[in-house]
Structure formats: C-alpha cells, structure tokens
Chain A
C-alpha cells in the first residue's frame, strides 16, 4: 500500500474537485483490498460514508435506494424483499455476511473485476496498465467472460446486484463535482472493454453515485435470481440469471432476463425475453428461448462451458419462477 491522504466529508458541499489520484471510499471492501495489492494506488481517499446518502423508500414510481445503504440492509428491507425479490436474492447470494454488512450499494456497482491478472501487479493487464497486454486470453480464464469480450480484455463484471438492477431497468442518480446531477440508466452505465478496458463506465472523475432508482414492476410480476457457483456460498458467479416474469394465464405476457458471470458487463438478453413473450411457458419454449442466450459468445480455453451453462441457467431461473420444477 502506498502512503495516501485521508479526508472525510459529511456534506455534499464539502466535495471539491478531485485530484487526478483521488478515490472515494464507502465500505472499503473493494478499495482497501486493491490498495493492499497496489492495484489501486490513490494518493487521496475521501471517505463518503457520513454523507446523507441513505434511505430505502418505495413510492408509486418504485424503489429509491441511497447509495450508502449496505448490501445487508437493502437485502433485508421488507419493501425490497417483498416486491423486488431479485434484488434481495442477488444480494444475499453475494460475498459473505460480514462483507454485506460493510459494503454499500454504490460501491458494489463499482467493484472491480476478479480477473487474477488484474489483481497481480507483476502480471501484464490492459485494464490496469493500458497497452501492457492480456495474459488471461490464453491463461486462467475459467471465471472470465464469453460475451462482450475484446482482443484487449475478457474480464467479467463480478457484481450480482448489477445483474438484478439491469433486468429491472434501474437508473443511477449521479452528482458531478460542480454539483450538477444527472440520471443514467444502468443499462447504459457500463462500457464494453473494446480497446480501452481501463474505462469501465460512464462516470466522470469525481462524480458520485447518490441514489439507485428502480421502477416498480407491473402488478403480478415475479422476479428471481439464480446464481451458479462451485460452492454453496461466498463465491462469485460462474453464471447467473436475473429474471422477470409476468404471466397472462398460461402465456407469458412479459419476460426479461439479464445474466452475470458471462459478460464484460451485466448482460441483458432482450432476444430471450422476446422469444418467450406471448408463448406458453413450457420446457420446449424455454429451451428454444434460452438457446439464444449465448448469441455472439466467444469461447476461451477454460470457459467455453459457459456457453451451455448460461443457457441452462436461464432455463432454471424461468422454470423456478414459473413453477415448472
């Protein structure tokens, strides 16, 4: 860890223009970890955990989550657990209880990839040191992406919550350094790596996530999250699927699915939802729709199995919600 300055702010007005090496710290579970590894080397940390960015509220428009709410608080909140199960389920299957008590919603959406070369400063990595190369493409890539990859980077976005929020079409409220605010749909927030894998999202320097807005699903909608991993707890996803299902009798009125563990960002699969809409929810239709899940996927030596596994994950998630098992 390199020496750094530490400041704590208690009101938004105290936030000045950031230096080139300034980083926010909320729960610290990503940033401190990466500073110890010297993957992140900020010269200044600004602690934002005392800012008034809390609160979990539901109104007619939907759910509003303060960016500083912890993962555990959001997961347990009755409004979330009641009407937005996919959020609760994605959070409860993330990390460990201790981490969820510390980690915030805003920090979760900005966590960094778990690619092992990214986390090892002795390895090359285009995301950490642009232009240095990507050893993962031929190296250990079992956990990495098959969708949205590029010749520069194949790292997965590891957030479970982001997958749930993408399927629900959540919006982020952002506050710039000058105090200006804007709203960005989460579906447009993350960037594919292309030839600039160091740029992961559209956040401007010093810009703060203040709130997450989640539209309320139509009445009768069911949501759920399935996470596939080697061990039963405390592991990132091999694959995951966040699904939304609204039935009209025995026909699908509206289905949506986003997947995790397979994309360089949380991956929405509109073609799968579209293939189900208006049809009966049975195995044949589900498998036909799910077979579109890996469209455009590129296999790497250790992760080619995800092409099949993600299709199965989608089938499983819809089968569970639709009561097929």
Chain B
C-alpha cells in the first residue's frame, strides 16, 4: 500500500499547546462568577445515613450551598448503555440515604473558592447506621454468580472434540498437564488529570466542560440524569489528560455539579481529589484465575481450561472477561473451556481499565504456557508456534488479518532470544540474577459507528471535524493525517477539530477503536467532499470547469484536473464565490457477519534482573512487535505501545489497590503509595510493527493500538522472573516478599 501520510512519524499538532501549558483542560476553566464544588463522601461501606449536621459547614466562609440527601438536588436514573447512555454508576446520588460503598457521594459543598468548599466539607458531621459490608474473597465467594453471557457466548463457553464429554477427562488423561492458580488485586487507572466538570447554564441551556472519553455518550447520559433534552447540552472536551477507561463512563460528580449550577444560577466547577478517584470513577476488579493445560509430549495442546472469578460491586456488574477474551481462541486446541463467575463486594463500581479482560487473562494464560513449556522442556516460542491458531477455534472462521508468527520471529531476532539460557537461576551478574521471558500479546479490534465532517476552504486549507476526543493518545494529529491522506494535501494544510459535541457524533474512545472508526468516517467524508467539489465545479456557471462531465474531472493533491487543465480547489471555490464545500459522512459499526474474527496480535520479550539478596525486580529491556494493521502515525503509535508496556510493568511489579477489609476504604488512595512505574522503572523499549493494512476490517487498514501494548508484558515479566530465579510467583504484583518465601513458606537467610 502506498500511503503519502499514513504510517509516517508525525509530531503532535497539539504538542506545543501541551508543553506550554496553553491547552485548557476541563478543570482549567474559570468562567465569571464561578463557584467551586467539593464532594462529601461516605466513611462507611454499607448501611444508611442517620443524620448529617451541616450547620458549621453552612456558616463557613464563602460557602454558598450544602447539598445532602436531606437537602437534595433532584437527579434521575441515567440512560443505560443499551439506550445510548454510558453511566458508570447507575444510581444518582443524594436521592436516598443508603450507602453502597465507602467513598460514595453523600453531599456537595459549593463555595466561592475551592479551599473554602473543601474546608467546609470537613466540618460536616455524619452519623451512620452501618451494616456489615462484604469486602473479602472469603465473604464474597458464597454469593458468586455466573452472568448470562460474556462476549456473546455463555458464561461457560466450551469447544469439545468429537467423542469428548468433559474437558476434565482430557486433562486427567493427558501425558503432560499443569493446573495453576493466579491472583491479582484491584487496580486503579490514575490518569494524571483528575475528573473535572465545569457547568455553566444560560437559561435552559447547559454548557459543560468535561474530562471524558466519550463526548456524545457523556452528553446523553448527563442530560438524562438532569432531566433535560440533550440537544440543550453543549459539551466541550478539547483535551483529556489520560483516561485508561475511567473516563469512558459518565460518573455522578458531573450531573451533581450541573444540578448545583442550575440551582444556584451560577457556574460551578468540581474537580475530584485523587482519593475520590479511588472510589467514584471505577477500578479494575480483583481476579482469581485457574488455568489447566494439557498437551502431548511434543507440545500439541489437547485442552485449555480457564476459569475466572472476578469481583464486581454489589450495586454494579462489570465483567472483567479474562478468559473469554484470551484463552477462548489464542491457541489451537481440540478442547477449550472458558468460564467466569462474579463475586460481589460492597465497593464502588468497577469499570474497564486499559485492556479490560485481556491484561489479566493474558497474565494467567501466558504464564501457564511458560510453565507448560518448562515442563515439556520446550522453547516457549516454539510451544506457541506448535499451537498456532489459523482459525478461530470452534467458530472455524479466519482472522481478517493475522501475522502473529511474524511478530514472534521478528521479536526473537531483535531481542536475541536465541541467547537465552533455559535453565533458570543461572545468570548471576554482580548482586543481580538475570533472566528473560516472553509472552504473546493480543487485543480485539473494534470499529464503532462514527461520523465526521470535511470542509475544503477557499483559502486552500481543509478542516476535519468530529465529536471525538483526544485522551492524550494523538487523535488531533490522526484526524489531520487521515484528512491529509485522503485529500492529498500536506498535513499542515488540514486543520483538525474535535472535543465539541456540536461536531458530527463519534463513539467513546475505548476498546482502541477511535482511529478505525473516526478515521474511516474521515476518509468517507473526504471522498464525499471531493465529489461535491467536482459537482460544484462542473455545474456552476462561474467555474472554470463549467459544463464538463463530472466523470471526466479528477481530483489529485488539491487540484481538479480535466483535459489538460489543472485548477486548485481554492481557485474553483473563489471563482464560484463559495467559502467552502463540505461533506458530513457516517459509517456504521463493523458488522460481525461471522465471516471473520478481528484481533490485533503481538509478541513481547523482556529481560529482568532480580536482586539476589533482597529480591527487587527491575526490568532491563523490552522488545515488542505488534501486528495492528496499518500504522497511522508511527510516532504516536510507538508512544501508545510504550505506554502500554509501562502499564504492564506496573501491573506485574507495582500496582495494587489495598482494600481495607474492615472499612472498605482504599488504604493507599494516593500517588505516593499506589505505585505506578517511575522513569527509573522503565528501561529502553524497542517497538516495532508488522505493517500489514487490514482492509477487511477498516478502509484505512488500521486496527487500533491503545491497549495491546499492555497485554503480554505482565506475563513476560513474570516469566522472566522465573527464568532469573527459578521461582514462580503467581500473584501480582511481584514484590520482594513473594520471591523471598522459601518453597516451604519458611523464611531463611541464604541468598536466593
């Protein structure tokens, strides 16, 4: 494929705004007469509020209003996802006195400054009638239940070879098998930018600045909770400081803030604190996963069985589909069974977090594959190649495009995998033990319905707009690049616009779908705008091409050409006295007609060192090769993969949300104790792509890159830790104490 613009590295068009601090985020707005909201949250996990004494708070300096369940703002239940909404929490706050989780919104203080609101909120005295919450696996497991369906299959999905009645029979009789259990804690997204809402009413019209991954669904949902027509809500979100999923839903601070602004007839802004972000905007559930693999002595899988238990909130079901999105199809096996149960806890609502289902599922599956490789005495890459799936197991359809084998091969070469020593615990380098590990990567490809507008202007430039959003991933630049590609213009002549609900609707930026969805709409709108230009050029009497048959006129690189004439589109527009010609086009969501499966794949290799005395793990280098279809912007695509790898390092080694089992509070709800990787934890990351445009999937050939980078790294790190030390840690994060415990569980002092 010969692209002029796509696939090349390109600086962000909004880079300068970002680094000079002139990009204004939702919390940076200061409309005239602004008041500041501060959320009051519950300090018990379950029960009800008996009373709230707000008298001191109301008398606090600068306090404008204090809203509580005893002095509520009317809010309605949000539209569901099926109705085009996108609620994170389905219950609007302040409408009753019930407590469903620690940190739930139970009030909003509005004052003339943020500090006044915060300080007044601290003066509210709340009495509860607490009930005993369910907060541990042991307490929750008796209430475990299976959801109706997961990923369009049953909560248990089974593929069995002819004659097999139960997968366990195969596992029991197989020459080689392993059965292992993996655990991981809850995680929190912690984007740098906190959620923020600034609401400004003008009569019955609402202008609202939000930090959201979905302008259109957020607008619809907030309108439904406020009980207003969404057409009267104008939502703006030009920049987002990271989302990772926790801005993919509308959370309740948004309508509470807007309702207060309506009540007070004054703009109100609420910015969440870091601690509030641990309970009010979602988390990744905790999981216990059991994987059983059975194989022939030469490594052909006979059975893959993957059982998942994941936590949910008592008040909100969210399925972290760890097995259905991974083990269900990654390897060819005559017998496959994936199943999942949900374990309800009295915690805030869980939600999607970067590579939902996939990141934890691949930890379990890809570590289990490594354990099997060791048992079979096979190279882990070879084991994967021996079980390479050419078709989606049980459905017998091919992938729209799959180049995973190439990823393994290129990755192994770049990394120097052949130098690996398969015997664990033998590479001692000073006070460190070194080891290498690998894992596959994957992520489903999504393409939603989207629309875009393309305008060709009389000054020779073009505009591309869509009500999509840029999470920091580079969507601004992608819009300009796709527009430039299909208009045949240099990128700097194309002005992108997004982040405004007035533009043509676009889907939530989740599931790594924005480039494929919006990019496709932009391509269609660009082609349509060119057709309109040609029609205008031949039909308008003042046009230099008037009277020509439209099919004889072609468009190339900003010019219309016919016979031997070449006219710039700006000249056509000026001749006919038009400021612009424009087209709006929509595309439907990708139809799953059952002919193909759609996934991106990759291979990830890493080297770690583990201190032989004190067992800290440090990642030394990473090689990652991704098959994501056409790369649109090589520079930001690399950044996405790198960011995913950094996330994966955090998952493997650092991140854990400590849920206090007595209170339901997260004990480390701050950036000092919820550990994400620092620069010192991140080594050189070698990123490569297998560039094979997937035109079956999307007309721009791209499948999306936002999430896949995280998917294999946690297992690759864990496998490298095994290779370095000879110890399997099956519980994330891999912290020193988990490596130190002797096999018997008894600590001892000789070096590991």
CB-based contact B736/A309 at 8 Å: yes
Closest CB-CB distance, B609 to chain A, in whole Å? 11
**Which of A38, A232, A239, A313 has the most B CB atoms < 10 Å from its CB?**
A232
A94-125 vs B, CB cutoff 8 Å, 1 = contact: the mask equals 00000000000000000000101100111100
CB-based contact B681/A140 at 8 Å: no
Is A231 positioned at the interface, with any CB of B under 8 Å from its CB?
yes
Q: Of B205-213, B384-392, B652-660, which binds chain A? A: B652-660
CB-based contact B611/A316 at 8 Å: yes
Interface of A is mostly: loop
Interface residues of B in 599-646 (CB under 8 A from A): 611, 613-616, 618
Interface size class of B (residues with CB under 8 A): 35 or more
Cβ-defined partner of B614 (8 Å) among A235, A291, A312: A312
Given that A291-B749, A305-B740, A309-B736 are contacting pairs, would A232 and B680 also be in contact in the complex, using a CB cutoff of 8 Å? yes
How far apart are the CA atoms of A291 and B748 in the complex, in Å? 10
Is A255 positioned at the interface, with any CB of B under 8 Å from its CB?
no
Is B574 positioned at the interface, with any CB of A under 8 Å from its CB?
no
CB-based contact A316/B431 at 8 Å: yes
CB-based contact B751/A1 at 8 Å: no
Is A251 positioned at the interface, with any CB of B under 8 Å from its CB?
no
CB-based contact A315/B613 at 8 Å: yes
Cβ-defined partner of B675 (8 Å) among A1, A230, A312, A313: A230
Which B residues touch A316, using CB under 8 A? Answer: 431, 611, 613-614
Interface residues of A in 285-325 (CB under 8 A from B): 287, 290-291, 305, 307-309, 311-313, 315-316, 319-320, 325
Closest CB-CB distance, A40 to chain B, in whole Å? 13
How far apart are the CA atoms of A117 and B618 in the complex, in Å? 30
Cβ-defined partner of A2 (8 Å) among B119, B653, B654, B661: B119
Interface of B is mostly: loop
CB-based contact A230/B43 at 8 Å: no
Is B568 positioned at the interface, with any CB of A under 8 Å from its CB?
no
Instruction: Name A287's closest neighbour in chain B (CB-CB).
Output: B749
Instruction: Name A293's closest neighbour in chain B (CB-CB).
Output: B749
Given that A312-B614, A313-B614, A319-B613 are contacting pairs, would A231 and B677 also be in contact in the complex, using a CB cutoff of 8 Å? yes
How far apart are the CA atoms of A234 and B654 in the complex, in Å? 12
Which A residues touch B283, using CB under 8 A? Answer: none
How far apart are the CA atoms of A308 and B747 in the complex, in Å? 6
Is A139 positioned at the interface, with any CB of B under 8 Å from its CB?
yes
Which B residues touch A38, using CB under 8 A? Answer: 122
Instruction: Name B661's closest neighbour in chain A (CB-CB).
Output: A139
Cβ-defined partner of B653 (8 Å) among A116, A230, A291, A325: A230
Instruction: Name B734's closest neighbour in chain A (CB-CB).
Output: A230
How far apart are the CA atoms of A6 and B70 in the complex, in Å? 37
Is A238 positioned at the interface, with any CB of B under 8 Å from its CB?
yes
CB-based contact B749/A139 at 8 Å: no
Cβ-defined partner of A229 (8 Å) among B616, B668, B749, B750: B616
Cβ-defined partner of B751 (8 Å) among A140, A291, A312, A320: A312
How far apart are the CA atoms of A143 and B677 in the complex, in Å? 18
CB-based contact A309/B430 at 8 Å: no
Given that A120-B665, A230-B653, A313-B613 are contacting pairs, would A320 and B431 also be in contact in the complex, using a CB cutoff of 8 Å? yes
Closest CB-CB distance, A265 to chain B, in whole Å? 21
Is A233 positioned at the interface, with any CB of B under 8 Å from its CB?
yes
Instruction: Name B61's closest neighbour in chain A (CB-CB).
Output: A3
Given that A232-B680, A309-B736 are contacting pairs, would A1 and B614 also be in contact in the complex, using a CB cutoff of 8 Å? no
Instruction: Name B126's closest neighbour in chain A (CB-CB).
Output: A122
Which B residues touch A123, using CB under 8 A? Answer: 663, 665
**Which of A116, A233, A290 has the most B CB atoms < 10 Å from its CB?**
A116
Is A243 positioned at the interface, with any CB of B under 8 Å from its CB?
no
Is A135 positioned at the interface, with any CB of B under 8 Å from its CB?
yes
Is A86 positioned at the interface, with any CB of B under 8 Å from its CB?
no
Which A residues touch B663, using CB under 8 A? Answer: 123
Cβ-defined partner of A139 (8 Å) among B431, B613, B667, B735: B667
Interface residues of B in 575-607 (CB under 8 A from A): none
How far apart are the CA atoms of A315 and B741 in the complex, in Å? 17
CB-based contact A312/B654 at 8 Å: no
How far apart are the CA atoms of A230 and B653 in the complex, in Å? 7
Interface residues of B in 659-700 (CB under 8 A from A): 660-663, 665, 667-668, 672-673, 675, 677-681
How far apart are the CA atoms of A308 and B675 in the complex, in Å? 23
Instruction: Name A316's closest neighbour in chain B (CB-CB).
Output: B613
Is B118 positioned at the interface, with any CB of A under 8 Å from its CB?
yes
Given that A230-B736, A307-B747, A309-B736 are contacting pairs, would A239 and B672 also be in contact in the complex, using a CB cutoff of 8 Å? no
How far apart are the CA atoms of A195 and B149 in the complex, in Å? 56
Closest CB-CB distance, A272 to chain B, in whole Å? 13
How far apart are the CA atoms of A232 and B618 in the complex, in Å? 8
Is B737 positioned at the interface, with any CB of A under 8 Å from its CB?
yes
Closest CB-CB distance, A154 to chain B, in whole Å? 14
Is A164 positioned at the interface, with any CB of B under 8 Å from its CB?
no
Is A63 positioned at the interface, with any CB of B under 8 Å from its CB?
no
Is A276 positioned at the interface, with any CB of B under 8 Å from its CB?
no
Given that A230-B653, A231-B654 are contacting pairs, would A305 and B741 also be in contact in the complex, using a CB cutoff of 8 Å? yes
Instruction: Name B122's closest neighbour in chain A (CB-CB).
Output: A38
How far apart are the CA atoms of A287 and B613 in the complex, in Å? 11
How far apart are the CA atoms of A122 and B749 in the complex, in Å? 40
Is A228 positioned at the interface, with any CB of B under 8 Å from its CB?
yes
Given that A308-B747, A308-B748, A312-B740 are contacting pairs, would A232 and B614 also be in contact in the complex, using a CB cutoff of 8 Å? no
Given that A2-B119, A139-B667, A232-B680 are contacting pairs, would A308 and B749 also be in contact in the complex, using a CB cutoff of 8 Å? yes
Cβ-defined partner of B654 (8 Å) among A117, A230, A287: A230
How far apart are the CA atoms of A325 and B662 in the complex, in Å? 45
Which B residues touch A291, using CB under 8 A? Answer: 749
Cβ-defined partner of B678 (8 Å) among A117, A232, A307: A232
Instruction: Name B42's closest neighbour in chain A (CB-CB).
Output: A122
Is B185 positioned at the interface, with any CB of A under 8 Å from its CB?
no
Which A residues touch B679, using CB under 8 A? Answer: 233
How far apart are the CA atoms of A285 and B672 in the complex, in Å? 38
Cβ-defined partner of B115 (8 Å) among A1, A121, A290, A305: A1
Closest CB-CB distance, A309 to chain B, in whole Å? 6
Which A residues touch B653, using CB under 8 A? Answer: 230-231
Which B residues touch A229, using CB under 8 A? Answer: 616
Cβ-defined partner of A233 (8 Å) among B61, B119, B673, B680: B680
Cβ-defined partner of B681 (8 Å) among A116, A231, A239, A319: A231
Cβ-defined partner of A116 (8 Å) among B122, B613, B668, B748: B668
Interface residues of B in 50-64 (CB under 8 A from A): 61
Closest CB-CB distance, B680 to chain A, in whole Å? 4
CB-based contact B611/A305 at 8 Å: no
CB-based contact A230/B740 at 8 Å: no
A249-280 vs B, CB cutoff 8 Å, 1 = contact: the mask equals 00000000000000000000000000000000
How far apart are the CA atoms of A234 and B671 in the complex, in Å? 10
Cβ-defined partner of A228 (8 Å) among B43, B616, B747, B748: B616
A235-246 vs B, CB cutoff 8 Å, 1 = contact: the mask equals 100110000000
Which A residues touch B615, using CB under 8 A? Answer: 309, 312
CB-based contact B733/A230 at 8 Å: yes
CB-based contact B675/A140 at 8 Å: no
> Which B residues form the contact surface with A (CB < 8 A)?
43, 61, 115, 118-119, 122, 430-431, 611, 613-616, 618, 653-654, 658, 660-663, 665, 667-668, 672-673, 675, 677-681, 733, 735-737, 740-741, 747-751
A-B contact pairs, 21 of them (CB 8 A): A1-B118, A2-B119, A3-B119, A122-B665, A138-B662, A139-B662, A139-B667, A140-B668, A228-B616, A230-B654, A230-B675, A230-B733, A231-B680, A232-B680, A290-B749, A305-B736, A305-B737, A305-B740, A309-B736, A312-B740, A325-B431
Q: A230-B675, A312-B615 are in contact. List 13 more A-B contacts (CB 8 A).
A: A1-B115, A2-B119, A38-B122, A116-B667, A123-B665, A139-B660, A228-B736, A231-B654, A232-B678, A235-B672, A238-B736, A312-B751, A325-B430
> Which A residues form the contact surface with B (CB < 8 A)?
1-3, 38, 114, 116-117, 120-123, 135, 138-140, 143, 226, 228-235, 238-239, 287, 290-291, 305, 307-309, 311-313, 315-316, 319-320, 325
The 7 closest A-B pairs by CB, nearest first: A305-B737, A308-B747, A316-B613, A232-B680, A233-B680, A140-B667, A325-B431
